[in-house]
């Protein structure tokens, strides 16, 4: 039976609980979701919002990306808990370090998908995760980075400007009504990166609440990773429904 895709819909995918191993000896917990019957055409590594404010691998945009995009867009989705972060999947070892030691967490995630031979890797950060993407993404063999609601609290002007002239694509998706960084200020603070792909989302908020906002964010991701999959399907043949 064809059903509308809602916030609780889980589309078919091969889902594997995985562990990441950092260079400083920690084990991080996560999940890899792949298309069921064909290889992925691109890969997203999710860097979640601030764990001290409730961010984790199940923060809703990344949870829904893992539930939908392997089926809708042939995208592999890796999400994981950074050090000291807990979710239903489990607790990653270590302690939150404000974005410093998390450099090794980013490296472990990208190393994992690289070793698996997954194609066209993009880092997708949300809030705190954008700080990690800006600070450390350039160190890795990625196609680009997507910044969802970047607060620019921890990434320095120099770390932002370092993306200027980099061959990897940098995309900033800025909510009109963000709590921390709205489009006008964001344009100024990213002015040092002329090639930045800037997306201002009308009525968007930092937490991207609601199905319309979810679909907009997922569409912006797919536009970069696999545009041939657009428009994203809004219904599916008997998706599984779970409690939010």
Whether 178 contacts 204, CB under 8 Å: yes
6 inside domain: no
Other Cβ atoms closer than 10 A to 125 = 25
Residue 216: helix, strand or coil by DSSP? helix
Predicted pLDDT at 199:
98
Predicted pLDDT at 242:
58
- DSSP class of residue 52 equals G
7 inside domain: no
Whether 55 contacts 48, CB under 8 Å: yes
Report d(CA 66, CA 80) in Å as an integer.
11
Whether 54 contacts 60, CB under 8 Å: no
Tokens for 134, please give them. 């800006």
Residue 179: give the domain boundaries: 13-228
Tokens for 236, please give them. 């599916």
pTM confidence score: 0.96
206 inside domain: yes
Whether 31 contacts 15, CB under 8 Å: yes
Report d(CA 25, CA 84) in Å as an integer.
13
**Beta-carbon-side half-sphere exposure of residue 129 (alpha carbons within 13 Å):** 33
Whether 47 contacts 79, CB under 8 Å: no
4 inside domain: no
Strand partners, 148: 126, 173
Give how far the C-alpha of residue 143 lies from the chain's centroid of Cα atoms, to the nearest Å.
14
Separate counts of helices (H) and strands (E) for the chain: 6, 14
Domains contained in the chain, number = 1
pLDDT per position in the chain (244 positions), as tens?
789 999 999 999 999 999 999 999 999 999 999 999 999 999 999 999 999 999 999 999 999 999 999 999 999 999 999 999 999 999 999 999 999 999 999 999 999 999 999 999 999 999 999 999 999 999 999 999 999 999 999 999 999 999 999 999 999 999 999 999 999 999 999 999 999 999 999 999 999 999 999 999 999 999 999 999 999 999 998 777 654 4
105 inside domain: yes
Strand partners, 173: 148, 199
219 inside domain: yes
Q: Which residue has the tokens 């592999």?
A: 76
Report d(CA 137, CA 134) in Å as an integer.
6
CATH number at residue 92: 3.40.50.1820
164 inside domain: yes
Nearest one of 25, 23, 115, 128 to 78, comparing CA atoms:
115
């Amino acid at each position: 039976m064809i059903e509308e895709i809602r916030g609780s819909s889980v589309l078919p995918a091969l889902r594997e609980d995985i562990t990441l191993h950092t260079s400083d000896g920690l084990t991080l917990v996560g999940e890899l979701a792949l298309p069921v019957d064909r290889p992925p055409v691109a890969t997203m590594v999710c860097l979640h919002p601030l764990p001290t404010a409730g961010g984790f691998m199940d923060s809703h945009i990344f949870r829904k990306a893992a539930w939908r995009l392997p089926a809708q867009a042939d995208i592999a989705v890796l999400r994981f808990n950074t050090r000291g972060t807990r979710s239903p999947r489990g607790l990653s070892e270590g302690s939150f370090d404000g974005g410093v030691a998390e450099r090794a967490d980013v490296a472990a995630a990208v190393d994992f998908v690289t070793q698996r031979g997954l194609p066209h890797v993009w880092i997708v950060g949300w809030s705190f995760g954008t700080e990690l993407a800006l600070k450390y993404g350039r160190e890795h063999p990625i196609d680009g980075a997507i910044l969802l609601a970047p607060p620019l609290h921890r990434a320095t002007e120099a770390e932002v400007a370092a993306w200027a002239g980099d061959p990897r694509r940098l995309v900033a998706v800025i909510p009109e009504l963000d709590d921390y960084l709205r489009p006008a200020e964001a344009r100024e603070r990213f002015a040092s990166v002329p090639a930045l792909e800037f997306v201002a989302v009308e009525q968007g908020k930092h937490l991207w609440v609601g199905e319309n906002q979810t679909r907009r964010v997922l569409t912006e991701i797919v536009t970069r990773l696999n545009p041939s999959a657009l428009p994203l399907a809004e219904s599916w043949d008997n998706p599984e429904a779970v409690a939010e």
